[in-house]
Amino acid sequence: MPTELPPSIAFMLDEFRDNQLTLADVSKRLSDKVFVRDYYDQCLASIGTFKYAYHLEARPDKFDIYAGTGLDPLSLSAASVQSFSA
């Protein structure tokens, strides 16, 4: 059984399950007020009810890591940081 995802993420992955996703598709849906309201509801449900890793117990026999911003592929912070090969 797949692990449960935060409702907002599950909602978005379900709504945009098409493999050939474009920015225009996303923009179009995010311009739809009804869709945005549903999305915000899912965000609130995530914050209110989802069991985040914040509350998980420590597992001393496991190597559990928290991805710092540099490692997190979802982080958009590195927009000004680029790798150059000399």
Residues that bind another protein (CB under 8 A): 2-3, 5-6, 8-9, 12-13, 16, 19, 21-23, 26-27, 30, 39-40, 42-44, 46-47, 50, 52-54, 56-59, 62-78, 80-86
20: which DSSP letter?
Answer: S
| Min separation Cβ 73 and another protein, Å | 4
* CA 4 – CA 10 distance, rounded (Å): 8
| Min separation Cβ 58 and another protein, Å | 4
By the 8 A CB rule, do 78 and 70 touch? yes
| Min separation Cβ 24 and another protein, Å | 9
* CA 17 – CA 36 distance, rounded (Å): 17
